[in-house]
Amino acid sequence: MFPVSIIMPIYNVKEHLARAIDSALDQKEILAEIILVDDGSTDGSAEICDDYAEREPLLVKVLHQENKGSGPARNAGMDQANGEYIYFADPDDYFDRQLLKDNYRLAKETRPDIVVFGYTEEKAGKPNDREVKLPNFPQLTTQKGFRKHFVNVYQFSPYALWNKLYKKSFLKKHHIRFTSQKTGQDALFNIDVYNYLTTLSVNRNVYYHYVTHSGSSVNRYRPDRYLMEDNIAQAFEEMIKGWGEEYAFSQLIAQEYFNSVYIETNNLVHKDCPLTNEEKVKRLKDIWQYVGVEKIVPYKKSDANPFRYMLLKKLKQKKFEQALFLMKSRNRVAEKYTRTFGKIKNLLNT
């Protein structure tokens, strides 16, 4: 048995894949099992995986499957995992040499269901322009303690997989698996985890580098985007109700539903959205009528983010066309800023 199994779902990430796999192989003082699950790649990623398996046959295992999505790919990896703990890494990110050594040592000392640690958030090609993210909650040794501090847990990338080590026996005991939902399967997985979790250890150091890329799935138009986001909000609400804490966490439930509306508003103004303006307004109106009046308005009064607050205000006023215009304007400004910043940086580097 290995101390840790690293599971990495892979689909058409040839440009970034070697860096991610090298990060896994370069772990200090921990001999980790690395399971690369090629999810039907067509860009040469599969061949890169096979090459690493040939070079490191004792550490690297490659699974090839038809394209099913990252959820089923991770399930396939879990089925083959021999590690005491499981670590889910993304193939377009990278992580520090001490990640497994430090966090597995903490896991052995405290025996938690999961270990949570810090990370940085950065844009592709700009590794020095990064934001550090650290957990802000204590070591949690009981289910009651975990739920008491859940608000703080929720504020620290609660649905990310790559800032956590998961005890394999815990996942197996509670039959926690990924769904086949194309996006948001990480959120549904972690909601299942939180539903059963009793112990959580915290490491307030940075180990993982989450890199955002312009071509990621969250930046594409999807006709079923809202349905997937609503699935997450409903699962979250069911979890909180199962705890008997729907009153205490009513604002978090409202936030989850607002997130689903926010993401769909952004989805509707995407350049590839085929709907007419009238159809977009009607869709947003129907969604707001479905969840806004009952799930959001009574509990969410404001938002710390100025733009999200303005959008919330327009939705509450039922000014749906203005809400869409607001989102489109925000995206246009962000895109213009990114282009301008890139040009300035290129000039400074010449």
DSSP-derived secondary structure for 207-265: EEEEEE-TTSGGGS--TTHHHHHHHHHHHHHHHHHHHT-TTTTHHHHHHHHHHHHHHHH
Q: Are residues 57 and 148 in the same domain?
A: yes
Statement to judge: residues 188 and 304 lie in one domain: no
Same domain flag for 202 and 333: no
Residue 52 has pLDDT above 70, yes or no: yes
180 shares its domain with 316: no
Last residue of a domain, one of 217, 241, 270: 217
User: 287 lies in which domain range?
Assistant: 221-339
- Residue 340 pLDDT more than 80? no
Q: What value does the mean pLDDT take over residues 56-66?
A: 97
* 345 occurs within a structural domain: no
Judged against a pLDDT cut of 60, whether residue 350 lies above it is answered with: no
The pLDDT of residue 1: 85
The pLDDT confidence band at residue 348, using thresholds 50, 70 and 90, is: very low
Residue 346 maps to a domain: no
Task: Answer yes or no: is 349 within a domain.
Answer: no
Q: How many CA atoms lie within 13 A of 174 on its CB side?
A: 18
Same domain, residue pair 14 and 123: yes
Q: What is the pLDDT of residues 104-154, one digit of tens each?
A: 999 999 999 999 999 999 887 776 778 999 999 999 999 999 999 999 999
Q: Are 105 and 28 part of one and the same domain?
A: yes
3-state helix, strand, coil in the chain (%, to 5): 50, 20, 30
Q: Which residues lie closer than 8 Å to 155 by C-beta, 6 or more apart?
A: 136
- What does residue 118 show for φ and ψ, rounded to 5 degrees? -80, 165
Please tell me the least confidently modeled range out of 181-190, 209-218, 310-319, 325-334: 209-218
Last residue of a domain, one of 217, 251, 284: 217
Same domain, 172 and 262: no
Cα 28 to Cα 271: distance, rounded to the nearest angstrom: 45
DSSP labels, 17-79:
HHHHHHHHHT-SS---EEEEEEES--SSHHHHHHHHHHH-TTTEEEEEE-S--HHHHHHHHHH
The tens digit of pLDDT for each residue in 64-79 reads 999 999 999 999 999 9
Domain-embedded: residue 69? yes
182, 277: one domain: no
**Pair 213, 226 in one domain:** no
Residue 344 lies in a domain: no
% of residues, the chain, pLDDT over 90: 89
How far apart (Å, rounded) are the C-alpha atoms in residues 153 and 252? 12
Residue 34 lies in a domain: yes
Domain end (from 162, 195, 217): 217
Residue 216 pLDDT > 70, yes or no? no
Reported as a pLDDT band with limits 50, 70 and 90, residue 30 is very high
Strands 200-212 and 4-10: unpaired
Taking alpha carbons only, the member of 139, 151, 23 closest to residue 87 is: 23
Query: Does residue 350 belong to any structural domain of this protein?
Result: no
pLDDT at 218 over 60: no
Q: What is the CATH classification number for the domain harbouring 120?
A: 3.90.550.10
Residues 197 and 322 in one domain: no
Same domain, 247 and 109: no
- CB-based contact 63:36 (threshold 8 Å): yes
The predicted model gives 289-298 an average pLDDT of: 96
Mean pLDDT for the chain?
A: 93
156 lies in the same domain as 25: yes
* Model confidence, pTM: 0.92
- State how beta strands 200-212 and 114-123 pair: parallel
What's the domain count of the chain?
Answer: 2
Q: CA 139, CA 199: separation in Å to the nearest integer?
A: 8
User: Is residue 121 in a domain?
Assistant: yes
